[in-house]
Amino acid sequence: MKLITRKNQLKEEIKIWEKEALSIALVPTMGYLHTGHESLIKKAKEENEKVVVSIFVNPMQFNSKEDLENYPTNLENDMKILEKLGVDILFAPSKEEIYPQENKVFIELKDLDKELCGATRPGHFQGVCTIIVKLFNLIKPTRAYFGKKDFQQLAIIKKMVEDLDFSVEIIPCDTVRTNKGLALSSRNSRLNSNELEDALILYKILEKVEEEFKKGEKNTERLIEIGKSIIGQVESAKIDYISIVDAETLEKIEKIKSDSLIALGVFIGNVRLIDNRELFI
């Protein structure tokens, strides 16, 4: 595996692959890799001839300086994982390499960032789209791999690729969970043992809401109230949002009439976790 930190060096490596007409996979991450990331990389390896993993804690997508400073990192351990998985290139640039000057041009989003995480983290998805566009332009991947845990991110990137005619296939990958149901996240490392148990409340909410939905409840307000009543059972939990939206448009709905999504943003102590589940008609 090659560790590359400079954009020009990365471009030169990509040119070699392009001349050989090799398929290229991109797995963009912010590092502190876990089994969920590994599942994306393994799928990328199966479906492509070359795999690039990026590790960059993107300051542009953080709303809180404290959250940015507390984001976990361990590049040495990440490199060991990527070596073992047989990744071809790890692109791990500095902030100065990616943003040598203040950006004056951005992707403008319409509607898709108004609900869920976008509602409480203004500018977050503009930051996400900025770094993804940079990576697409640098790496020119055949396919790019994203986890469904960040469902809104996935939906926005899919729409961006469609609307702006990027020549990359977006591959959604299922959320990986612990045996108790907690969605794997780098942020989980900031939870103590008691908080890890408390965090299971997100999975319990999704299970209960889906159960009631399958029994015939289609009124989203009532389903959301069920979720809120469950979260009240955990003292350390504080709701950021609980929403049910159309799975394609991400707009709030009053009654489930098509494939939908229940999505959660919940603080466990000082750590914000997200999770979701598709509700299929």
Determine the CATH number of domain 186-279.
3.30.1300.10
Two tokens, residue 249:
């448009």
Active site residues: 37
**Prediction pTM value:** 0.95
2-173 topology per CATH? Rossmann fold (3.40.50)
**Helical spans, DSSP H, in 74-198:** 75-85, 95-98, 117-120, 124-139, 151-164, 193-198
Cα end-to-end distance, the chain, whole Å:
44
Using alpha carbons, select from 110, 166, 164, 159 the residue that is nearest to residue 135.
166
Two tokens, residue 18:
């392009």
DSSP 8-class letter at 216: T
Torsion 104-105-111-115 (CA) sign: negative
Domain ranges for the chain, please list them: 2-173, 186-279
How many whole angstroms separate alpha carbon 279 and alpha carbon 281? 7
- Give the number of C-alpha atoms closer than 13 A to the C-alpha of residue 186, restricted to the C-beta side: 19
For 45, the 3-state DSSP assignment is: helix
The per-residue pLDDT string of the chain (281 residues; one tens digit each, 9 = 90 and over) reads 999 999 999 999 999 999 999 999 999 999 999 999 999 999 999 999 999 999 999 999 998 898 999 999 999 999 999 999 999 999 999 999 999 998 899 889 998 999 999 999 999 999 999 999 999 999 999 999 999 999 999 999 999 999 999 999 999 999 999 999 999 999 999 999 999 999 999 999 999 999 999 999 999 999 999 999 999 899 999 999 999 999 999 999 999 999 999 999 999 999 999 999 999 98
